[in-house]
Chain A
């Protein structure tokens, strides 16, 4: 296993864990609302991913630093308060410096508060670990999320509009499949992605299959953290 090479909770191990091993989009399947809603173009996907990454990292660090001061009984409201404060700060920064991105992401920026990736990481990692591992955990998970959003967005933008990052890529004769950048296309791309993943898993043996189905049963594919945050 990789654990022998990468020491547990070392910065590198955390990054690897977030980007590859427990990638929030492809492996854990959490944070699905923004994944489907904002991936209509690559710019939006990267913007949303990085915004979430910044908030996740900041809140992870803050929660890890305060983990001994927060009483166990009120930890959820405390986490939500911390995350909501960072979201408000980031929203101000976006409004001031990237107004275009802010208006195209719209309501999904304040909704980062209820993104289960952030509260999930707070509950599963930052609340129990030191500041430095939590920092890298946040960066790793954030980058993993950005990667997931960017992949889905690139696919949808390339085939749905024939462009990437706004530049024309497909030849002029290509007729864009408009439905891919509309709401139904989001469900379609995600369905195909999960099906592909199931296929790869069933080929590579059954030992990893339990992970996702266990999550499905509690209704967690992109769930409320109260249902699955504790189990992650």
Chain B
């Protein structure tokens, strides 16, 4: 239990996926303009990342290792993730339309979110069990959500500020990310 808690806090806070590992930067910079879209993206990532770490852990442990094909992990993982996202999209559309409407736009974007493949590979590299892998995936996604929602809040406030012309748009967002990243280094030593 203690070990799982350590993995969770480590993935969500200390090694925050966006601010210290630079995975999933794309949606972090792209869809962090408004709080509700950021929260929607965060929700979709939590959902997909948890599910995909479960699937990739299971496939790696019970399919790739027994037949001795660990080296195919990159190919298998990316195809599994792409198929999974499609499947989730179809399932939600049919079964839970309300959730589909909330997450719909963000789901296809997630296939190319490098955090998803990143977590699958980290799970393999750190030799996590299936349970640990799922916890790692979920906590990483929570860390992503924290970062993107915080960023969206800051950006909503920043809209009314007087920013130097050259810094408008991306540069000020990156500087904000820098300050957040410095703040998050404060968590190191927690685990």
How far is B112's CA from A226's CA once the two chains are assembled, in angstroms? 8
Most chain A beta-carbon contacts within 10 A, residue among B26, B121, B165: B26
**B167: which A residues are within 8 A, CB to CB?**
191, 195, 198
Docked-complex contact B175 and A188, CB < 8 angstroms: yes
How far is B177's CA from A186's CA once the two chains are assembled, in angstroms? 10
How far is B109's CA from A219's CA once the two chains are assembled, in angstroms? 11
**B21: which A residues are within 8 A, CB to CB?**
37
Q: How far is the CB of B138 from chain A (nearest CB, A)?
A: 19
Residue among B19, B20, B22, B78 making CB contact with A113, cutoff 8 Å: B78
Q: Kindly identify, within residues 92 to 115 of chain A, every residue whose CB is under 8 Å from any CB belonging to chain B.
A: 92, 106-107, 110-111, 113-115
How far is B74's CA from A92's CA once the two chains are assembled, in angstroms? 12
Interface string of B91-120 (1 = CB under 8 A from A): 000000000000000001111111001100
B66 on the A face (CB < 8 A): no
Docked-complex contact B82 and A222, CB < 8 angstroms: no
Docked-complex contact A191 and B30, CB < 8 angstroms: no
B168 on the A face (CB < 8 A): yes
Q: How far is the CB of B147 from chain A (nearest CB, A)?
A: 12
B191 on the A face (CB < 8 A): no
Docked-complex contact A111 and B114, CB < 8 angstroms: yes
**A195: which B residues are within 8 A, CB to CB?**
166-167, 171
A12 on the B face (CB < 8 A): no
How far is B110's CA from A212's CA once the two chains are assembled, in angstroms? 23
B122 on the A face (CB < 8 A): yes
B165 (CB) vs chain A CBs: closest residue: A202
Q: Which of B1-9, B46-54, B154-162, B178-186 makes up part of the contact surface?
A: B178-186
B170 on the A face (CB < 8 A): yes
Docked-complex contact B25 and A33, CB < 8 angstroms: yes
Residue among B19, B72, B122, B168 making CB contact with A198, cutoff 8 Å: B168
Q: Kindly identify, within residues 178 to 232 of chain A, every residue whose CB is under 8 Å from any CB belonging to chain B.
A: 179, 182-188, 190-192, 194-196, 198-199, 202, 212-213, 216, 218-227
How far is B171's CA from A24's CA once the two chains are assembled, in angstroms? 17
Q: Which of A76-84, A126-134, A160-168 makes up part of the contact surface?
A: A76-84
B190 on the A face (CB < 8 A): no
B173 (CB) vs chain A CBs: closest residue: A191
A27 on the B face (CB < 8 A): no
Given the interface contacts A191-B178, A198-B168, does A222 sit within 8 Å of B74 by beta carbon? Answer: no
Docked-complex contact A219 and B78, CB < 8 angstroms: no
**A188: which B residues are within 8 A, CB to CB?**
174-175, 178
B169 on the A face (CB < 8 A): yes
Residue among A77, A85, A187 making CB contact with B177, cutoff 8 Å: A187
Docked-complex contact A216 and B170, CB < 8 angstroms: yes
8 closest Cβ pairs, A-B complex:
A219-B30, A224-B112, A191-B174, A187-B178, A195-B171, A37-B22, A84-B75, A199-B166
Binding site for B on A (CB under 8 A): 29, 32-34, 36-37, 76-77, 80-81, 84-85, 87-88, 91-92, 106-107, 110-111, 113-116, 119, 179, 182-188, 190-192, 194-196, 198-199, 202, 212-213, 216, 218-227
